[in-house]
Amino acid sequence: MIAEIFRFELREQFRAPLFWVVAILFALLGFALMSSEAVTLVGGLGNVNKNAPVSVVAAMTVLTLFGILVITMLISAALLRDFDQNTAELYFATPIKPRQYLAGRLGAALVASFAIYVLLAFAMYVAQFMPWIDPAQLGPKSIGPYAWSLMVMVLPNLLFTGMLLALLAVTTRSILWVYIGVLGFITLWAVSQTLASNLDNVWLVSMMEPLGIRAFGRTIRYWSAAERNVQLPALTGYLLGNRLLWLAVSALLAGAVFALFRTERTGSRRGWRKHKRAHVPMVALPAKPLPRIQPVFSASTHLRQLWKQFGFDVSGVMKGIPLIVMLLFGLVNFIGSSTAMQSMYGTPIHPVSSEMATLLQGSYSFLLVIVVLFYAGELVFKERQAKMQDVTDAMPVSNWMPMLSKLLALVGVIVLFQAIGMLAGMLVQLAKGHMALEPLTWLKILTAGCVPFVLMGGLAFAVQVITNNKFAGYGVIVLVLIAQAAFGALGFEHKLYNFGSWPNAPWSDMNGFGHFLRGQLAFQGYWFVFMAAMLLLAAAFWVRGVDGGWRQRVRAAGGRLRGPLGIATVSMFALFAAIGGWLYWNTNVLNQYHSSDDVEDLRARYERDYRQYENLPQPKVLSSNVDVDLWPEKQSMTAEGRWRIVNPHATPIQDIHVQMGDMRNLVSIDFGGQVLKLDDKPLDYRIYRLDKPMQPGEERDMTFRVDYHPRGITNATAQTQFVENGSFFNNRLFPQFGYDPNGELQDRNERRKRKLGEPRRMAKLEDTSARQRNYLTDDADWIDFATTICTAPDQVALAPGYLKREFKRGGRRCFSYAMDQPMLDFYAYLSARWQVKRGAYKGIPIEVYFDPRHAYNVDRMIESVQKSLAYYEANFGPYQHRQVRIIEFPGYASFAQAFANTIPYSESVGFIADIRDRDKVDYVFYITAHEIAHQWWAHQVIGADVQGATVLSESLAQYSALMVMEKEYGRGNMRQFLKYELDRYLAARGSERLEEQPLYRVENQQYIHYQKGSLVFYRLRDELGEEKLNRAIRRFLDTHKYPRPPYPTTLDFLRELRAEAGPGQQQLITDLFEKISFYDNRVVDATAKKRADGKYDVTLELHADKRYADGKGKETPGRLDDWIEVGVFADGGTGKERDQRVLYLKRHHVTAANPEVTVTVDALPTEAGFDPYNKLIDRVSSDNRKKVVLR
Amino acid sequence: MLKLQNLTKTYANGVRALDGVSLEIPRGMFGLLGPNGAGKSSLMRTLATLQAPDSGTASMEDGSGGNIDMLRDKDVVRRQLGYLPQDFGVYPKVSALDLLDHFAVLKGLTARGERREMVESLLQQVNLWDARKRKLGTYSGGMRQRFGIAQALLGAPRLVIVDEPTAGLDPEERNRFLNLLAEIGERVAVILSTHIVEDVTDLCQSMAIMNRGQVLLTGSPADAITALDRHIWKKRIDKTQLESHRGRFNVLSTRLVAGMPVIHVFSEDRPDEGFEQVDPGLEDVYFLKLRQQQLAA
């Protein structure tokens, strides 16, 4: 019996065209994922192959999430078809048992679903053999990963989602509710993901996530590229736990499905709410005649009808279950996410309105896409769905009235939805004790946030009207959505042909939407006119009365278009074309438009044509004096520079090669007589032949003038450097000399496509020629610096150096700065309206320039500056400047950057951090300390432009900041911070694009010089002691202060370090700096025995292992000869680690893989640890501690 | 009141819904009789401005001596129209009061006080007053039909078109409903389509019989019946005789009475011994016209 039901159902499933549409779509997607560059889901990064086993698994697993929508279709078809088509009673009047029916139907639906994934796997497998794939991106082609994915990930996920959907289907018997349930599931899934950013609940999140995506991600998080390319995870730990848990849940769900399945007619059982459906008979007619009221038709009648219909439609939508469900899910998602708002290190941020509004957009408002698409269809077909069209179409209303009112209703729903979100957002702010609600900020951000939905809704509406078929309409809109995403990926990046795209205006509390709004509004206007034109066209196709088919509709539309409607439509399309032409003139004539492919081609040509000049001797700057005239109101800047340059080389300089950085704004340049020999406009590369060559050692003055002013609207977001409030730019806008290797194409695959060979790497540590320049610039060593900057009368402008003079010139406010000692050729200008807070350290003034709304952490920053200066002066040497300035700039970039005595600090990285909770990482304090440390590490000593250079600036700054933090917060709190550093280091090395380097050869890889740097130096401090380490660092600094070529390298640093370290620590330094080493340490067993004297003997069976990895992650065993901490702890009463009492903590010399240690402690031990504070780089840090068993 | 000439409509699938329909419809109740698919609904939708014919004209007196071109001046027609379609739905989650009020605005009753008076009075008239706040989704078929007539009577329609309004009503309701219609028909033109012959006999001063898009007969029911006087014969026969009788006589209808077929036959004279003469009814007219058309084809 089951077999027959199964067979019949499977045939039905395979016969449905939708099944094949979806199956082919999935197969195409899989094929594209594997064989094209344009489509990516996961993996394919850097050294990870396109067909790496983990990439295959990840892609197939993530597709089970998208696939839920498909499975919903198959499952609900199998279970609800008979109830929908009223064939149920035919079935259940036969002798089949409900469970046979259910098992057959469900089984067939699941098999059909599984078939889709088998097809997907097949398409992905076949795609690897396509000839156009770069073979370097492919590993061995094996069936294994596909089979593994299908069995371990896809099948359990199908069982779980299938049973969940089946449960929804049998309990609600409504496809709408099944879909609502699916939506809810996906929303809750997304919410659960936001909780995952906190490192403390890894286990919980890995287990809780039913599809295993997170468990899988967690398992491979620390895998190197080499491992990712050949291995599949073992079925243990997170993964096994997760799979078993959800298989068990699936079994429970299946039980519930069978238990709750009913065969009765819908509504024949007693429901939880009584449905009144009583009949009121028509009794005798009252004698009273009807009043004769003559309707009035005047001009205002139309408006009243419109208003009434609008209100009627809006309330109809707002009362609809799908909308309410979506609203509730959105709110749950938003409020859930708002509890986990943070930017770094798990530290929360203040719920300022701009952040809340942005969060609202991402977690709540995005649902409006579904809302408008769904309700565009619902509204257009509202009357016809209710079979009321004959009544309403015969009403005396104008032809345009119903369409206009529905359109307005759609807009009204968007506005209402956003307003509800705003209200919720404000309540959340108040609940968090944040009183500055800034309604204007909310309104601006949310109003701008409505536009995409209005455009999408309008287009969907027009499409629904024109196609006159709800599902065709949905289909067209889904195609539009796909095109929106695909165009960019395929290299069609111009916004003129991608519906609903525009140069996005980023929000900054300091600068609002600023001048970015112009471009955004212009493009939005363009698309708005397009939408209006489409709607007018649609109005011609609006069906009133009986729908007589396409031919009749086209004829009717033709008739309507011959009137004023046609004139309006044509004019609107003409306006669209005119705006498009104007925009094209702006983006492609006034400005330059390059697709990213074009840009890559240009960079390839740059390398081909000019690399020959790489080693051409070029002058160096000795002093710089620049007059800057900044116009924040007009986002313009002109500068006149006078530089003194020298020829430091042994040969004369005949040609000077000049390039500009991001902006091509050089108006004139004069080296004292020259001819422009080559002017490569597309690359902005110029060669000047000097009238009189610069002789070796010769100095001369040169001048230049740059002039930047915006020229209309650009296709990309406008420049972020000159803005109304918060300009921030640096000397990259001034001329640069010679070929710049940084201009070369970096991406390995893009290079291979253009036959450029391997990407350039940093010069080898041993390369002596590269030591002639520092890693910041080749254009100068140390310069004398003075500058004048004029800005808007209500703004302050800042630059490195000390204020010499403030004056007015032509109504502008001007400031002259000069530095009293040589500094790096690296300076920035800032201008804004700030509030200033002052402090001091030993007579050194400290100033923080900040936006008045962002005063939260300003005092903390000043404190950090004071404590940093104190530590650094005591341990490394004097601070070279007489002033420290921290300056807030708009969050168009999220970093802080140290210039001489000047530290621009983004509004998005610390100004709104909520550091009131002392348990959280105070990254405001840390970042400030790090930037102050750069005044020593970069501005006093700077490395040569070779491998390892950033150790001397970034890693040393990390170490310095760690020490200041430790003094402030104590050793116990450092682990909180270092845990994040360890996690980020281990996670980032898996996606290394080229080659992981040991620390002393780091090639500007951030995860190495920051994260690994922190770990290495902190361990070094533990082993050598703070005093010894600081002595070595100080000696290095003293030897190399303000270096001239040849610049120092890590070899110089390691020499000092090794000199300070004992003979037993030399291997440690090798392991930390010169090798990539990992430990696998764990407590195997910990037992305690009470002694007669009341003390306890704790016996620990430990496991230790050290391995070395090469740049691709291939590992070899290392020899254990390390000092590793062993600790025994007693419960502090709270169960929290930080309250534990340390009974024993001592470094042990470990030379064997399985050491056994017995220690005696005074009190009852609860936990024992081997490297309990995770100071060693260990990929499984959770097994370093174990509960002690008392015998 | 209404004058239709040569209205023709062919659907995309080739069906000729209207095939040269010409009619004059006076004030009062006008019955449109015909089997399923006769073109009644097509004609009514055409008059209700919902469907444009392929050819032909339709005009309506505007009450002040002029004429309205119903096919062109649709807006003018709609302002004086009350229409109850054959098969219509409601928004299930809206109350009768709200929806009727909404329709009233669409019908041009924009003054709040007047509208309220009208809506309340109509709800009382169709006896939905007590149920006015209930969601329409909870209404029974009969109640929904009454709501339909209420909305058709909003404003002051001069032309009321009701398409098979009594389908789904129980006999009691049907009577009340028809009474209400008759009362309205005293003042305005009411076009009532049905395939229930008695409705027309009982209510309409004039009528038309339609089939396959053509008007087979128009005039007053009484005249049509009178024309058949002494031409209708009845006979009770055995089931086995049915075929032979069909071949020999002009059989209009067959009905089972106590399990035995009773046939009506049209004939100038008594067809044979077993037949007895009966008074003609409108049903006989109806069947005769259909049969004549069938034979002519």
Alpha carbons A890 and A505: distance in angstroms, whole number: 13
**Pairs across A and B, CB distance < 8 A:** 155
Nearest CA of chain A to the CA of B221: how many Å? 27
Question: To the nearest whole percent, how much of chain A has pLDDT over 90?
Answer: 59
pLDDT of A271: 46
Q: Do B75 and A398 touch (CB under 8 A)?
A: yes
CA A1007 to chain centre: 17
The CATH class for the domain spanning B226-296 reads alpha beta
**Neighbour tally for A21: CB within 10 Å:** 12
Alpha carbons A1082 and B97: distance in angstroms, whole number: 75
Match 């939407």 to its residue by tokens.
A513
Closest to B109 (Cβ–Cβ): which among A288, A295, A397?
Answer: A295
8-state DSSP, A200:
G
Please say whether the beta carbons of A55 and A220 come within 8 A. no
- The reply to whether B2-220 and B226-296 are identical in fold is no
pLDDT in tens, A814-850: 999 999 999 999 999 999 999 999 999 999 999 999 9
Higher pLDDT, A1135 or A407: A407
List, in order of start, the domains of chain A with CATH numbers. Answer: 2-260 (no CATH), 301-590 (no CATH), 615-738+777-937 (2.60.40.1730), 1077-1191 (2.60.40)
A271 touches B at CB < 8 Å: no
User: What confidence tier does A871 reach under pLDDT thresholds 50, 70, 90?
Assistant: very high
Fold of the domain built from segment(s) B2-220? Rossmann fold (3.40.50)
Among chain B residues, the shortest Cα distance to A299 is held by B108
- Does the pLDDT of residue A285 top 60, yes or no? no
Closest to B45 (Cβ–Cβ): which among A275, A546, A549?
Answer: A546
Closest to B88 (Cβ–Cβ): which among A278, A387, A396?
Answer: A387
Alpha carbons A208 and A212: distance in angstroms, whole number: 9
Higher pLDDT, A273 or A196: A196
pLDDT in tens, B211-238: 999 999 999 999 999 988 888 999 998 8
Alpha carbons B118 and A289: distance in angstroms, whole number: 11
pLDDT of B197: 87
Return the bridge partners of A646, or none: A620, A699
Alpha carbons A1055 and A1032: distance in angstroms, whole number: 9
CA A482 to chain centre: 21
**CA distances in angstroms from B80 to B47, B53, B76, listed in the order given:** 12, 20, 7
- Does the pLDDT of residue A45 top 60, yes or no? no
**Among A820, A789, A790, which residue's Cα sits nearest to residue A802?**
A820
Closest to B176 (Cβ–Cβ): which among A282, A305, A319?
Answer: A282
Torsional sign, CA A741, A742, A744, A747? positive
A234 touches B at CB < 8 Å: no
Residues of A in contact with B118 (CB under 8 A): 290-291, 293
Nearest CA of chain B to the CA of A725: how many Å? 52
The half-sphere exposure of B3 on its side-chain side, counting CA atoms within 13 A, is 8
**Among B175, B275, B173, B264, which residue's Cα sits nearest to residue A279?**
B173
A324 touches B at CB < 8 Å: no
A176 touches B at CB < 8 Å: no
Nearest CA of chain B to the CA of A376: how many Å? 17
Alpha carbons A1102 and A1081: distance in angstroms, whole number: 8
SS (H, E, C) B22-64: EEEECCEEEEEECCCCCCHHHHHHHHCCCCCCCEEEEEEECCC
* Domain ranges (residues) in chain B: 2-220, 226-296
Return the bridge partners of A816, or none: A788, A805
Please say whether the beta carbons of A50 and A34 come within 8 A. yes
Alpha carbons B99 and B157: distance in angstroms, whole number: 18
Name the residue type at position B200.
Answer: V
Nearest CA of chain A to the CA of B56: how many Å? 17
Q: Do A291 and B127 touch (CB under 8 A)?
A: no
Structure tokens at A1011: 């994260």
Nearest CA of chain A to the CA of B114: how many Å? 7
Return the bridge partners of A1130, or none: A1141
pLDDT in tens, B146-190: 899 889 988 888 999 999 888 777 787 788 778 888 888 888 899
Among chain B residues, the shortest Cα distance to A283 is held by B127
Closest to A280 (Cβ–Cβ): which among B50, B109, B131?
Answer: B131
Give the DSSP per-residue string, B178-222.
Answer: HHHHHHHHTTSEEEEEES-HHHHHHH-SEEEEEETTEEEEEE-HH
Find the mean pLDDT for residues A1173-1184: 87
Residues of B in contact with A548 (CB under 8 A): 11-12, 51
Find the mean pLDDT for residues A1053-1058: 96
Find the mean pLDDT for residues A1005-1024: 94
Nearest CA of chain B to the CA of A421: how many Å? 25
pLDDT in tens, A515-572: 999 999 999 999 999 999 999 999 999 988 887 788 888 988 998 899 899 999 999 9
Please say whether the beta carbons of A257 and A238 come within 8 A. no
Residues of A in contact with B45 (CB under 8 A): 390, 545-546
User: What confidence tier does A238 reach under pLDDT thresholds 50, 70, 90?
Assistant: confident
**Among A1041, A980, A1033, which residue's Cα sits nearest to residue A871?**
A1033
Q: Do A305 and B105 touch (CB under 8 A)?
A: yes
B264: Cβ–Cβ under 8 A, 6 or more apart, which residues? B232, B233, B234, B251, B252, B253, B278, B284, B287
Nearest CA of chain B to the CA of A295: how many Å? 5
Name the residue type at position A483.
Answer: A
A240: Cβ–Cβ under 8 A, 6 or more apart, which residues? none
Closest to A276 (Cβ–Cβ): which among B51, B130, B138?
Answer: B138
pLDDT of A44: 47
Closest to B51 (Cβ–Cβ): which among A295, A391, A546?
Answer: A546
- Top mean pLDDT of A266-275, A548-557, A1073-1082, B198-207 is at A1073-1082
Interface test with A, best of B51, B102, B105 (most A CBs within 10 A): B105
The half-sphere exposure of A456 on its side-chain side, counting CA atoms within 13 A, is 25
Among chain B residues, the shortest Cα distance to A307 is held by B105
**Residues 641-700, chain A: which have Cβ within 8 Å of B?**
none
pLDDT of A723: 96
Backbone φ and ψ of A1122, nearest 5°: -125, 155
Q: Do A391 and B148 touch (CB under 8 A)?
A: yes
ipTM score of the complex? Answer: 0.88
Q: Which residues of chain B have pLDDT under 50?
A: none
Structure tokens at B286: 């109806």
Residues of A in contact with B52 (CB under 8 A): 545, 556
Q: What is the pTM of this model?
A: 0.86
A287 touches B at CB < 8 Å: no
Among chain A residues, the shortest Cα distance to B77 is held by A396
Return the bridge partners of B253, or none: B264
Give the DSSP per-residue string, A722-758.
Answer: S-SS-EEEEGGGS-EES--GGGS---HHHHHHTT--S
Question: To the nearest whole percent, how much of chain A has pLDDT over 70?
Answer: 96
Interface test with B, best of A176, A273, A275, A290 (most B CBs within 10 A): A290
Closest to B103 (Cβ–Cβ): which among A300, A386, A395?
Answer: A395
User: What confidence tier does A279 reach under pLDDT thresholds 50, 70, 90?
Assistant: low
Torsional sign, CA A92, A94, A95, A96? negative
User: What confidence tier does A194 reach under pLDDT thresholds 50, 70, 90?
Assistant: low
Find the mean pLDDT for residues A918-941: 94
Among chain B residues, the shortest Cα distance to A386 is held by B89
pLDDT of A1112: 82
pLDDT of A503: 93
- Does the pLDDT of residue A1009 top 70, yes or no? yes
Nearest CA of chain A to the CA of B10: how many Å? 10
Strands A1167-1170 and A1122-1130: antiparallel
Match 């174990």 to its residue by tokens.
A1186
Alpha carbons A1000 and A1020: distance in angstroms, whole number: 14
Please say whether the beta carbons of A821 and A771 come within 8 A. no
Q: Do A279 and B140 touch (CB under 8 A)?
A: yes
End-to-end alpha-carbon separation of chain A, Å? 61
Q: Do A391 and B177 touch (CB under 8 A)?
A: no
A341: Cβ–Cβ under 8 A, 6 or more apart, which residues? A348, A349, A351, A355, A359
Nearest CA of chain A to the CA of B205: how many Å? 22
Among chain A residues, the shortest Cα distance to B91 is held by A386
Q: Do A309 and B102 touch (CB under 8 A)?
A: yes
Alpha carbons B214 and B39: distance in angstroms, whole number: 8
Structure tokens at A184: 């809810």
Find the mean pLDDT for residues A1163-1173: 91
DSSP H helical ranges for A173-236: 175-194, 202-208, 213-220, 225-230
